[in-house]
């Protein structure tokens, strides 16, 4: 009765496994109630998809679990009134999955794209409120601190064409753990948000977020000075816990 490294490797009916797994994700991520509710609402469409497509329970790479990871990461990074506002913003993504007839992989790929658009707009708004102006269209920016009087000026920098380094920057998501050489020292941080021109990095509790332009992050990655240590993996961690629970129940 093991989960064995995939969402559905256990001899547990999908009707029990899917809601239990998402509840475990919410519990381990210590989500605000508003984000816990979003994950709970994902249960019904995820179960419908699991019954229609065996691939849902055979791989963590299925977009339904990627969506769960994104929701968990966002809920971990935001609390209180801010979490409530963001959850309301993301609610249409869950509504479309709940009400739509499409249970295929593409439905969750669209949901992830919608989530990207909404969270990018959210980060743009947060940075604008903090006085961080976006660079001109088609340009990037050098590193700058967010919320600190010692901020560095934003300097435009042209983004190179599509390549592995750009793909890495574009692929960063909330909750990913990264290591970056910034301000003459190595920093371990979590991706806290992505605006249209910047990536927000959270280092330690109580410290201001580090805001770094996508172009500058590209250059750091190109020079071997930025890398992903560990992607967000709330679903994997929940599966590990459930594996132990199932073993204990056996």
- Please give the pLDDT value at position 110: 97
- Please give the pLDDT value at position 55: 87
pLDDT at 155 over 60: no
Of residues 190 and 2, which shows the higher confidence score? 190
Of residues 139 and 204, which shows the higher confidence score? 204
**Residue 39 and residue 182: Cα distance in Å, rounded?**
35
Domain at 183, CATH number? 2.30.30
Pair (237, 226) in one structural domain: no
- Please give the pLDDT value at position 210: 85
- The pTM (predicted TM-score) of the whole model is 0.81
- Please give the pLDDT value at position 244: 59
pLDDT at 28 over 90: yes
> How many C-beta atoms lie closer than 10 Å to residue 104's C-beta?
13
Q: 3-state class of 88 per DSSP?
A: helix
Residue 231: exposed, middle, or buried by beta-carbon count in 10 A (0-12, 13-18, 19+)?
A: middle
**pLDDT averaged over every residue in the chain:** 83
pLDDT band at 205 (very low <50, low <70, confident <90, very high): low
Pair (52, 153) in one structural domain: no
Pair (113, 26) in one structural domain: yes
Pair (70, 174) in one structural domain: no
Domain with 243 in it:
14-129+233-249
Pair (145, 244) in one structural domain: no
Q: What percent of the chain has pLDDT over 70?
A: 80
Residues in CB range of 235: below 8 A, 6 or more apart:
7, 21, 25, 60, 65, 68, 69, 72
Report the domain count for the chain.
2
Asked if 11 and 233 count as a contact pair (C-beta separation under 8 A), the reply is no
């Amino acid at each position: 009765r093991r989960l064995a490294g995939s969402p559905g490797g256990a001899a547990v009916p999908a009707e029990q496994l899917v809601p239990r797994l998402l509840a475990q994700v919410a519990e381990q991520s210590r989500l605000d109630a508003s984000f816990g509710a979003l994950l709970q609402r994902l249960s019904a469409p995820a179960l419908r998809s699991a019954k229609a497509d065996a691939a849902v329970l055979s791989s963590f790479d299925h977009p339904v679990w990627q969506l769960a990871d994104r929701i968990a990461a966002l809920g971990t990074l935001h609390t209180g009134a801010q979490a409530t506002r963001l959850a309301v913003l993301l609610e249409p993504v869950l509504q479309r999955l709940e009400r739509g007839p499409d249970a295929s992989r593409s439905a969750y790929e669209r949901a992830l794209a919608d989530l990207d658009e909404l969270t990018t707009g959210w980060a743009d708004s947060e940075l604008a409120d903090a006085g961080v102006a976006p660079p001109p269209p088609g340009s990037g920016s050098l590193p700058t601190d967010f919320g600190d009087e010692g901020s560095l000026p934003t300097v435009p920098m042209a983004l190179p064409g599509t390549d592995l380094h750009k793909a890495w920057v574009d692929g960063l998501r909330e909750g990913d753990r990264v290591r970056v050489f910034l301000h003459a020292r190595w920093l371990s941080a979590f991706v806290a948000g992505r605006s249209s021109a910047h990536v927000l990095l959270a280092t330690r509790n109580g410290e201001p977020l580090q805001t770094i332009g996508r172009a500058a992050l590209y250059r750091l990655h190109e020079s071997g000075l930025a890398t992903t240590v560990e992607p967000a993996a709330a679903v994997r961690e929940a599966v590990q816990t459930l594996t132990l629970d199932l073993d204990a129940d056996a």
